[in-house]
Amino acid sequence: MKILLINSNTSQVVTDKVAAGARAVASPGTEILAVCGEFGARVMGTRSEEAIGHHSTIALAAKHAPGCDAVVIAVSYDTGLRGTRELLDIPVVGMTEAALLTACMLGGKIGLVNFGARVRPLYEELVASYGLSSRVAGWRTVESTAAYKPGSDDELEALLVKQANDLVERDFAETVILTGAVMAGVAARIQSRVSVPVLDGIAAGVPQAELLARACWPKPTRGSYAAPGKREMVNVDAAVAKRYT
């Protein structure tokens, strides 16, 4: 099996972290193809940057999906998820979508930790779009860029442990999600210090993509996720345009 991991940020550091996290949880024999954005923000942190990221995700999917069995969107806003799901005939999983749905199966209320006050509304809107706002116990927002550097950071991970346990103690969270693609692998490292399941989107998304690929459910032929069919496209990447012929 081959899974395409799309990070439409242009940071190779982030791509390397999600690739390592994906390979750590993938089944034996599953190949991970991790690709990085070719244009746009290094790390999306505003609405306009995320809007550009939608284009990037679709372009990367059109270019690299042939020969793959499933796709995981390795941007924690699930950037371009719906458009890519419409465009491709293989399963497409959003990392935060997968973490949220997995958390629902592991417990009751969900605690979420995010990086940066400015982007918290984007996450709140994303959770609402999945109809899961009522499952949220609470949020903790961390102002730190340490996760975006190569390697791990003991001080940051200690802070995440504190925030996760605070969500459990004060907000009665029964699962905790660490949002952000750079959290790939971190949940596993701090799990022993937190009293409820801790999830990251890559650790949830890759097994979910494998499951969907093995199940072989058909692509819809009606509705908004059916293939778009023949459409006139102007000045887009050739791989994208080919999907509309």
Domain with CATH 3.40.50.12500 in the chain: 2-94+204-242, 96-201
- Residue 240 pLDDT level (bands cut at 50, 70, 90): very high
Residue among 85, 99, 22 nearest 57 (CA): 85
According to the model, what pLDDT value does residue 167 have?
A: 98
Taking the C-alpha atoms of residue 173 and residue 108, their distance in angstroms, rounded to an integer, is 7
**3.40.50.12500, 2.30.40.10, 1.10.3860.10, 3.90.1150.10: CATH of 2-94+204-242:** 3.40.50.12500
Instruction: Report the CATH architecture of 96-201.
Output: 3-Layer(aba) Sandwich (3.40)
Taking the C-alpha atoms of residue 186 and residue 172, their distance in angstroms, rounded to an integer, is 22
Tokens matching residue 142: 């961390």
Taking the C-alpha atoms of residue 203 and residue 24, their distance in angstroms, rounded to an integer, is 8
**Burial of 244 (C-beta count, 10 Å sphere; 0-12/13-18/19+):** middle
Backbone φ, ψ for residue 65 (5° rounding): -70, -30
Task: Taking the CA atoms of 213, 94, 198 and 217 in sequence, report the sign of the dihedral they define.
Answer: negative
Q: What is the amino acid identity at position 181?
A: A
Which 3-state string (H, E, C) describes 156-188? HHHHHHHHHHHHHHHHCCCEEEECCHHHCCHHH
- Residue 146 pLDDT level (bands cut at 50, 70, 90): confident
Average pLDDT, the chain: 96
Task: Tell me the pLDDT tens digit for each residue of 26-66.
Answer: 999 999 999 999 999 999 999 999 999 999 999 999 999 99
Q: Is the pLDDT of residue 150 over 80?
A: no
Residue among 30, 83, 29 nearest 61 (CA): 83
Taking the C-alpha atoms of residue 141 and residue 112, their distance in angstroms, rounded to an integer, is 9
- Residue 148 pLDDT level (bands cut at 50, 70, 90): confident
According to the model, what pLDDT value does residue 149 have?
A: 76
Tokens matching residue 231: 């459409």
Question: Is the distance from CB of 81 to CB of 73 less than 8 angstroms?
Answer: yes
- Residue 215 pLDDT level (bands cut at 50, 70, 90): very high
The percentage of the chain sitting over the pLDDT mark of 70, rounded to a whole number, equals 100
Taking the C-alpha atoms of residue 140 and residue 221, their distance in angstroms, rounded to an integer, is 41
